[in-house]
Amino acid sequence: MKRRLITLAGGVLGLILLSGSTYTIAETEQAIITQFGQPIGGAVTEPGLHFKLPFIHTVTRFDQRWLPWDGDANQITTRDKKFIWVDTYARWRISDPLLFFQSVRDERGAQSRLDDVIDGETRNAVASYDLIEIVRITNRDFEITEDLIAFASENEEAVRDIEHGRNAITRSILEKASEVTPSFGIELVDVRIKRVNYVEEVRVKVYERMISERQRIAERSRSEGQGRAAEIRGQRERELKSIESEAFRQAEEIRGHADAEAAGIYASAYQRDADFYRFMKSLETYRTALDEGVTLVIGSDSEFLDFLRRSR
């Protein structure tokens, strides 16, 4: 029984020693070993099982992954005096755990140093460029729909070409900040502008500008419609007139030809005896021209009453 107890105690002691002399590093971790606060050796970055002196060596773990840094939105004035909010984010990793441990101690310390560095550089960068440089990346031409062609160049600041663009600006922020961060054992991998927005008061103004711009477009569209309608009406009038007069002309020509032809026919027939024609035509005319409204006063010596008189 006693021997058993001793074996048990030995086993427990062994276990404690074993657990004190080993440690594991996960894929996401790296560590430094300190001996009573004094760093021993370099950083441990290989994941897996590792050994150390129990009780004497202490393991301090750090993250090996890319870590987030999300800045507060900063109100910054651009070079062209636009008031904007700029919200940046960055990714960083602990590249030198020992230096990191010595200079900023832990991630919280690192975050606050990063705040100082990146926020500062962001301010500097944004303040030294015009807003358009921060918004745009390339100088591509906008696609313009038919309705808006006349308004493409209204917004003068927007039509200006950029010289640098957002990517160049963020790259310069990254470069400037990267000059400082290695002294904290930090590698900065990426700084990006997440959000850019007008500050509230400016936003109202921008909205007003957008509204008036749209109203101009609407107005123009309406008057274009009226103009087009008037044009079509004018065209209609013109065509109506031209159709009508053309028809009149043709009709008159046809009539004229017919009249001329008829006149020729009459002339060639009647000229054989103009006297007889006049006689015949006169008789015809009497027939149609004289009616009951006419009072005929006839002399008894007329040809018509010739025999009437003679018989008396």
Partner 1 sequence: MALYGNSGGNGSWGRPDAGPDIPGLPDLGGLIARLGGMGGTLKWGAAGLAALILFFAAVYQVEPDEAGVVTRFGRYVRTTNPGLHFVVPLVESVTKVPVERQLKEEFGFRTEEAGVRTRYEDRDYLEESLMLTGDLNVAVVEWIVQYQIRDPRAYLFNVRDIRSTFRDMSEAAMRDVVGDNSVDEVLTVGRERIASQAKDLLQEMNDHYETGISVQQLVLQDVNPPDLVKPSFNEVNEAIQEKERLTNEALAEYNQAIPRARGDAQRLIQESEGYAAERVNRARGEASRFESVYEEYRTAPRVTRSRMYLETISEIMPKLGQKVILDESAANVLPLLNLTNGNRPSSPNPGGANEGNEEGRR
The region that residue 36 occupies, defined by phi over 0 for left and psi between -120 and 50 for alpha, beta otherwise, is left
Dihedral over Cα of 77, 80, 83, 87: its sign:
negative
Q: Quote the tokens at residue 274.
A: 């103009």
**37 or 143: CB nearest partner 1:** 143
The answer to whether the CB of 191 falls within 8 A of the CB of 90 is yes
State phi, psi for 297 to the nearest 5 degrees: -105, 115
Q: Find the binding residues for partner 1 in span 18-47 (CB under 8 A).
A: 24-29, 46-47
The region that residue 39 occupies, defined by phi over 0 for left and psi between -120 and 50 for alpha, beta otherwise, is beta
Least CB distance from residue 33 to partner 1, whole Å?
A: 16
**38 or 149: CB nearest partner 1:** 149
Element (H, E) at 86: strand 83-94
**38 or 298: CB nearest partner 1:** 298
State phi, psi for 70 to the nearest 5 degrees: -120, 110
Q: How many CB atoms lie within 10 A of CB 76?
A: 20
Q: Are strands 29-35 and 186-198 parallel, antiparallel or unpaired?
A: unpaired
Question: Residue 15 interacts with partner 1 (CB under 8 A)?
Answer: yes
75, 128, 239, 278: residue in contact with partner 1 (rule CB under 8 A): 239
Q: Find the binding residues for partner 1 in span 270-299 (CB under 8 A).
A: 270, 272-273, 276-277, 279-280, 283, 286-287, 290-299
Question: Residue 259 interacts with partner 1 (CB under 8 A)?
Answer: yes
Least CB distance from residue 281 to partner 1, whole Å?
A: 9
**36 or 286: CB nearest partner 1:** 286
Contacts of 72 (CB under 8 A, 6+ apart): 87, 115, 119
219, 274, 278, 310: residue in contact with partner 1 (rule CB under 8 A): 219
**25 or 177: CB nearest partner 1:** 25
Q: Find the binding residues for partner 1 in span 53-72 (CB under 8 A).
A: 63, 65-68, 70
72, 106, 179, 244: residue in contact with partner 1 (rule CB under 8 A): 244
**Contact map string, positions 98 to 117, toward partner 1, x by CB under 8 A:** --------------------
Q: Is 197 helix (H, G, I), strand (E, B) or coil?
A: strand
Q: Find the binding residues for partner 1 in span 114-173 (CB under 8 A).
A: 131-132, 135-138, 140, 142-145, 147-148, 155, 157-159, 166-167
**127 or 159: CB nearest partner 1:** 159
Least CB distance from residue 226 to partner 1, whole Å?
A: 6
Complete edge-to-edge strand list for the sheet that includes strand 186-198? 74-77, 83-94, 186-198
